[in-house]
Amino acid sequence: MTDETLPPPSAPAAPVPPTTVPTSPAASTGAGDALRGSLAAVRTEVARAVVGQDAAVTGLIIALLCRGHVLLEGVPGVAKTLLVRSLSGALSLGTKRVQFTPDLMPGDVTGSLVYDARTAEFSFREGPVFTNLLLADEINRTPPKTQASLLEAMEERQVTVDGVPRALPDPFVVVATQNPVEYEGTYPLPEAQLDRFLLKLLLPLPERADEVEVLARHAAGFDPRDLAAAGLRAVAGAQELDRARAEVARVQVGPEVLGYVVDVCRATRTSPSLSLGVSPRGATALLATSRAWAWLSGRDYVTPDDVQALAHPTLRHRVQLRPEAEIEGVTTESVLDTVLASVPVPR
């Protein structure tokens, strides 16, 4: 199962192959229902600009709830950048965009010391990383040295310049876009950086009906550079996210589900098709995304179905295929399917 099959969280009973998210009474308070309504409104606003890609919107909301970062991958022209811009427009959060290019330097991202001739002193000039939502556009088109400038920011929520650590705003989320690594002019992200992304979401080419809707909107005058004209407005902000995160933190996880998460991740380490399995950090990430999905589905406990629903987007970038498996046409998605099918599901 892939993230492309995730149903909207507003419909918890919708099918999630190969299992379904069971319907159960929402155990949270009325405040929790109101917060879920606010996040559903964010989805509605994003839909004013982006046709389809519901699974990607769901993944971005889950990442915001988990204080995690997201890697969006897709061929050029599937609305990766527009999706992030629309999300930022629907949220009252500070947003900055960096276009990653081969000549971009680390200081262009994190900031640097600037000499002031009037005072004869150096002062720190903040880079675009000092924001709530950082759009790292085409992150794999810049060399590893500049890619690595985000490592400390993503893990510790701070940047260190000239030995001085500087805290980043809260919340701080990196949403990076990249073209498939097979495309020319790309620098594959190293494993250490990939592991810092909570989710890797794949944006497929749209279905025919969605593509017709895209053309109809453009024919009617839609301008992707002017989202305000499309009626997109901010409907939630940092306060709603903080309260929603507190609700997610109260979602219960039974010992049998904890064991299931561990068993799934450990199974990737012994897969004959993988040279790199999921680390303990990946296991904690899968736990976090499963709890957020359970809360969005209106429950205060996690089920194995939640774990299965988020396994692909949470783990696909944390494993590495063996060269001989790639030659045989094995894919990361098929390996994860095999792993999920091989691990006993607790009842």
pLDDT at 232: 87
Say which DSSP state 298 is in. T
Q: How many helices (H) and strands (E) does the chain have?
A: 14, 15
What gap in Å lies between CA 235 and CA 114, rounded to an integer?
Answer: 38
Q: Tokens 């999706």 correspond to what residue?
A: 83
User: Cβ(231)–Cβ(221) under 8 Å?
Assistant: no
pLDDT digits (tens, 9 = 90+) for 185-194: 788 888 888 9
Q: What is the mean pLDDT of the chain?
A: 87
Q: Which of 107-121, 277-291, 294-308 has the lowest mean pLDDT?
A: 107-121
Architecture label for domain 1-27+251-347: Orthogonal Bundle (1.10)
pLDDT of 115 reads 83
Separation between Cα atoms, residue 238 and residue 234, nearest integer Å: 11
State the Cα–Cα distance between residues 148 and 209, nearest whole angstrom: 40
Percent of the chain with pLDDT over 70: 90
Which ranges in the chain belong to alpha helices (H)?
30-47, 54-66, 80-90, 106-110, 144-147, 151-156, 191-194, 208-219, 238-249, 255-269, 280-296, 304-315, 323-327, 332-342
230, pLDDT greater than 50 = yes
pLDDT above 90 for 224:
no
pLDDT of residue 182: 61
Q: Where are the domains of the chain?
A: 1-27+251-347
Least confident segment among 10-19, 162-171, 328-337: 10-19
Q: Indicate the pLDDT class of residue 18, thresholds 50, 70 and 90.
A: very low
